Structure 1
Amino acid sequence: MAAMEIDSPTKIPRKQAAYRSLDEPFEIQKDIYRGQQYSQIYSARLHLLRTLMHSLVPTWKPHFPVCNILGLEEGSECVVVGTLYKHMELKPSVLDEYSKERSVIPIARPDNFMHESDYLVLEDESGRIKLGGSLLSPSVYVTGVVVALLGRETDAGDFHVEDALEVGLPPQLEMPLKSGEDKYVVLISGLHVGRAASNPLESQLLIDHITGHLGDQQVQGMAAQIVHLVIAGNSVEIPRGILNKQNLASTDYSRLSEPIKELDMMLTEIAAGLTLDIMPGSNDPTNFSLPQKPLNRCLFPSSAAYNTFRSCPNPHCFEIDGVKFLGTSGQNIHDLEKYSEAKDKLEFMERTLKWRHLAPTAPNTLGCYPFTDRDPFLIESCPHVYFVGNQDKYETRLMKGSEGQLVRLICVPKFCETGVAVMVNTNNLECRTLSFNASFSS
């Protein structure tokens, strides 16, 4: 008896895109910790950004001399380039726990340590000086930002600031010519696989959609335009209470590994038909300090077997068809939110680009590796897409630079709480969201 033939639906081929990793600055393979201190990363940052500042000052203030802090003369106007330090009354300190005066220190909010008595100090290799005047607001700046300041030293020993210059957006490679062909990169974060409150249906709907197993031919046609997926941190949630025990029972080992196994199965479904990058986050099993090393491929025995699977560091930088993406899992913006203020998360992102530094609060309040001769967080080339993961809600904006730079800023929301993924069109940098709450909609 002949087998009955069944007409299969027409398969829509997935579009392809050229991928190039630009993660080399965030690799720590050859760096060895030998007890070095963090002063060296500050020196490297100041040296590189000061060189850039000195090239901008003749255009900005051509008639004023540039001097260091030790060379300031009372009453004489000049330009000084240095690193800002913000003195904060409420900044957490281990020493406060042993201080007899602990009771007189104002109580800080756990999410922000700003206080009206905060003030800024400028420092370079020669010394430091307190900044006066109302031009620079302590609520905007954080420790670690390099600026050029015009002003004069007062008889009180302060430096009265009359004007300030930030280094500004770095140069940007021109966007590839519009091909008229829409290709999408999907950004998600905060899957938190293993969290009791997470909804596995939302994750499965996401997987089915981007792999083309959901919806009618029109929906599948949209899915076929997705060329890459980026998972920006906090993909699993390990039960923290277990790790406090000295001896783990066999059941505890199972509870620890279960979320990772579940994530591996999810990634295997995706990697079978789509290239993907997975970045670590603050809750994932890798090193705590930035840059975070890629999640070990041994954690993903099934999905890592595909050549479409890439485990990447945090921060992460790559190109898709010549469009440059730069992103983090959100720690840099969360830390800025604790030590400064802005109207929204996108403004924090704008500041990091204008300061040309992904994580200006590292190493002061944000953990980072003590590099000796470089600062990997300096932004030397302006991205076309700049994203941060694990945010409370989706936000986006196009940022324009003075030299024609155009950057798509994206706050990627926590998927486990919002069910939202973000799609970026590499042809024109337009954004749209995919929502997988309860039932699929886009």
Structure 2
Amino acid sequence: MEMDASNILHRKQSVYQFLDDAFDIRNETYKGQQYSHIYFVRLHLMRTLIYSITPNWKPNTPVCTVLGLEEGKECIIVGTLYKHMKLKPCILDEYSKERSAIPLVKPHNFVHLDDYLILEDESGRVKLRGDTLMPSIYVTGIVIAVLGKETGAGDFWVDEVLEAGLPDQIERPLNSGEDKYVVFVSGLSIGCTTANPLQFQLLVDHITGHLGDEKEQSIAAEIVHVVIAGNSIEIPSGLLNGQNLASKDQSKLFEPIKELDILLTQIAAGVPIDIMPGPNDPANFSLPQQPLHRCLFPGSSTYNTFRSCTNPHSFQLDDVRFLGTSGQNIDDLDKYSEATDQLEFMERTLKWRHLSPTAPNTLGCYPFTDRDPFFIESCPHVYFVGNQDKYGTRLIKGSEGQLVRLVSIPKFCETGVAVMLNMRNLETHTLCFGTQISS
């Protein structure tokens, strides 16, 4: 029986541009570099940028250094914030926990009402006060401008705050072209005791067009790219105790990776796929995490559609620019500041023009000496973050007309939810793969 050629579905294509060069660590060395270098670079970058926009903000107000402040004289100062936190974990507290009979409580969030902010530049530092400056919103490492006056007590009373705002964005035709979809999934956690292999296979079958009726398959044919945003496997912690593994335990260590490679091979055979490392994956711990080694994927890495990428990850499909992380930057902000939801944390990082402002203070990162790769030079059209508790999305607009789609990707192992984004209009919807059978 011959197949009707008119019924054959052809997958749509898109032009891919790889933009991870800024996150590559070449000639990695740890020979006495100090983390002060990355703060100096960040301050120089951000201060130059903020100086260029202060004339439009307050055209007749002088800009001073911390050392050049005069009591009662209104001025603008630009510097790096340091947040003094009463509950911030300290190594001495860890020592006390072991020696003390009373265990110390470890809260999920370390924000306290007594927290306060200090602004620092090369000349000195000054404590900030004022009703317009909310310490709970900010974290250590952000560069901002503040308008105000030095008080008699030596503090700086803040009247207004200026953040860098969204960077420039490349133009993208609005609501034009054809429907093309990108699938985002994170937190597969293959190897977890609660993982459901059937959910994984349903996801793969949907992406590759082996699931559903003709309508479902026609939608699957419009999927042009897949992004896996970290925490793809989960190795039992008991196996990673530094001891030599018995032969029976070695299979437990490698089995999740083999299973992941089988799933990726099925996807890569039909759809381009990017995989990013996460905090639980076999990659370096500090940001930016380098690509998972291709030797882990003997099957999928043979396809030219397979790409092992950094975390953070940046790329462009046709005329849509994407930027995202596996979630560590947002999770750390959630510990040291407060917001209504994860999307608000994401929006702040864009307005601060910095992906990971808490690195290296409370989030591990490589000790760069001549650059800060987390500085956001170009505004993305899509900003995604993986391994979050729930799905969320929001469209934000910048002062220069920039439009950014924020996407919070839930952990697939716990929710069975992936996210589809339409590149034509930046609209998103979820793919839910529930496998529970009702009695």
**Mapping of 1:138-217 within 5 angstroms?**
138-176=135-173, 178-217=175-214
Structure 2: how far apart are the matches of 1:436 and 1:311? Answer: 25
Q: Give the drift of 1:97.
A: 3.2
Residue matched to 2:403: 406
Structure 2: how far apart are the matches of 1:43 and 1:386? Answer: 27
Q: Give the drift of 1:7.
A: 4.6
Residue matched to 2:43: 46
Structure 2: how far apart are the matches of 1:242 and 1:57? Answer: 55
Q: Give the drift of 1:177.
A: 5.6
CA pair 108-160 structure 1, distance change in 2 beyond 3 A = farther
Q: TM-score, normalised by structure 2?
A: 0.96
Deviations 1:312-359 (A, max 9, x none): 000000000120000000000000000000001100000000000000
Corresponding residue SS for 2:128 = strand
After TM superposition, the structure 1 stretch with the greater mean CA deviation from structure 2, 28-37 or 118-127, is: 28-37
Task: Return 5+ residue gaps in structure 2 as ranges.
Answer: none
Q: Is 1:123 matched up with 2:96?
A: no
CA pair 182-356 structure 1, distance change in 2 beyond 3 A = same
After TM superposition, the structure 1 stretch with the greater mean CA deviation from structure 2, 277-286 or 87-96, is: 87-96
Q: Is 1:321 matched up with 2:318?
A: yes
Selected match of 1:242 from 239, 243, 265: 239
Corresponding residue SS for 1:195 = coil
Residue matched to 2:295: 298
Structure 2: how far apart are the matches of 1:313 and 1:84? Answer: 28
Corresponding residue SS for 1:244 = coil
CA pair 259-104 structure 1, distance change in 2 beyond 3 A = closer
Selected match of 2:345 from 348, 352, 358: 348
Deviations 1:399-433 (A, max 9, x none): 01110000000000000111111111111101111
The answer to whether the 8 Å contact 1:90/1:108 transfers is no
CA pair 120-106 structure 1, distance change in 2 beyond 3 A = farther
The answer to whether the 8 Å contact 2:174/2:425 transfers is no
- Number of matched residues? 436
Structure 2: how far apart are the matches of 1:220 and 1:310? Answer: 25
Q: Write the letter of the residue equivalent to 1:191.
A: L
The answer to whether the 8 Å contact 1:181/1:427 transfers is yes
Indicate the percent of aligned positions where both proteins have the same amino acid. 69
Structure 2: how far apart are the matches of 1:99 and 1:329? Answer: 33
Structure 1: how far apart are the matches of 2:105 and 2:169? Answer: 40
Structure 2: how far apart are the matches of 1:106 and 1:46? Answer: 39
Selected match of 2:84 from 71, 87, 102: 87
Task: Return 5+ residue gaps in structure 1 as ranges.
Answer: none
Q: Give the drift of 1:96.
A: 2.4
Corresponding residue SS for 1:174 = coil
Residue matched to 2:369: 372
Q: Give the drift of 1:156.
A: 0.8
Q: Give the drift of 1:95.
A: 2.2
Corresponding residue SS for 1:131 = strand
Q: Write the letter of the residue equivalent to 1:91.
A: K
Residue matched to 2:334: 337
Q: Give the drift of 1:208.
A: 0.4
The answer to whether the 8 Å contact 1:176/1:323 transfers is no
The answer to whether the 8 Å contact 2:139/2:336 transfers is yes
Corresponding residue SS for 1:181 = coil
Backbone CA RMSD of aligned residues = 1.9
**Mapping of 1:71-110 within 5 angstroms?**
71-98=68-95, 109-110=106-107
Q: Give the drift of 1:59.
A: 1.0
Q: Write the letter of the residue equivalent to 1:151.
A: G
Residue matched to 1:256: 253
The answer to whether the 8 Å contact 1:90/1:107 transfers is no
Deviations 1:138-160 (A, max 9, x none): 10000001000111111111111
Residue matched to 1:225: 222
Q: TM-score, normalised by structure 1?
A: 0.95
